[in-house]
Amino acid sequence: MTAQIVIDDGTNPPAIGSTDHPSTFLATSHGLANFDDTGILGWRWTLVDKPIGSAAALGATDTASVTLTPDVAGSYLVRLETYTDAARTIADDLDEQIIGVRFEGAQDWLVPAAGETVQQGTRGWAQSREEAIRGVLPNLWPEPVSSIVTAGPYTALKGQLVLYDPSGGSFTINAPASPVLGDRFAIKNTTTDATAVTVDGNGNSIENPSTETFVASYSLGDGLVSLDFIYDGTNWVLL
């Protein structure tokens, strides 16, 4: 008797070939089950770790199968403990598996869950948030590109390159709302006119390129300005 978490495909036990370490997308409900419950009468499920900002929870903790709906991209570490009695006093085995959820957009990386020490699939893993951010930088590409913004306030989309023309007067460009780790946006002046544009963190601190400090908002200087930001979980940081 062993514990092995698999995606439940509707058969009991789940069919051979059910996916360990499934890579999937957000807002998808997954059924998790033990590969073989022969002789198993008790189960204890635990969501050991999940991405920053996630409110996801297991649908149950003491049933033969459970559900989990990821709501933030990243790693979800699930533990299954099996028992040979219904009261869950006679321990049988233990298994932990990662559900790795893809990031939306061009970047395709993850920060490991606690206890994740091996690479999952082709997307890789990192020892820390900082390493993950460094690893994704070569693959970043602004998408989508905005129409040229000539008035505001304008709120950037996640992953968007905001083209702006300040020649008609001053206005504000807001960072994307409700960011999570790895979100990014960029801005670029399409003219050589003096810049009177304010960049606002939209509720989060944003790095001022002139002072290298984190502030709520700041005004851009004169001339052609192009800046690229990534959210490190706390602040909008210049790349």
Q: Does one domain contain both 9 and 48?
A: yes
Domain membership of residue 214 (yes or no) is yes
Q: What is the pLDDT of residue 41?
A: 93
Could you list the residue range(s) of the whole structural domain that residue 174 is in? 154-238
Q: Within this chain, do residues 121 and 158 fall inside the same structural domain, yes or no?
A: no
pLDDT for 108:
43
- Shared domain check, 227 and 178: yes
Residues 9 and 120 in one domain: yes
- Total number of domains in the chain: 2
Same domain? For 117 and 159 the reply is no
Whichever domain contains 120, its CATH number is 2.60.40.10
Classify residue 220: in a domain, yes or no.
yes
Residue 122 resides in a domain: yes
Residues 46, 118 within the same domain: yes
Q: What is the CATH number of the domain that holds 163?
A: 2.60.120
Instruction: Kindly tell me the sign of the dihedral angle through the C-alpha atoms of 226, 230, 232, 233.
Output: positive
pLDDT (0 to 100) of residue 205: 92
* Measured distance CA(239)–CA(227) in Å, rounded: 8
Is residue 119 located within the same domain as residue 183? Answer: no
Element of type H or E holding 136: helix 129-136
Please report whether residue 138 resides in a domain. Answer: no
Q: Do residues 80 and 171 both lie within one domain?
A: no
- Give 10-residue mean pLDDT values along the chain (239 residues): 66 50 62 87 90 85 89 81 91 81 49 54 44 47 71 87 84 91 85 80 89 87 75 86
Task: Decide if 135 is inside a domain.
Answer: no
pTM of the model: 0.44
Please report whether residue 202 resides in a domain: yes
**Residue 11 in domain:** yes
Residue 66 is assigned to a structural domain of this protein: yes
Residue partners of 80: CB distance under 8 A and separation at least 6:
3, 5, 32, 34, 43, 44, 45, 94, 95, 96, 97
- Considering the domain architecture, whether residues 116 and 159 belong to the same structural domain is answered as no
Give the pLDDT of residue 142: 43
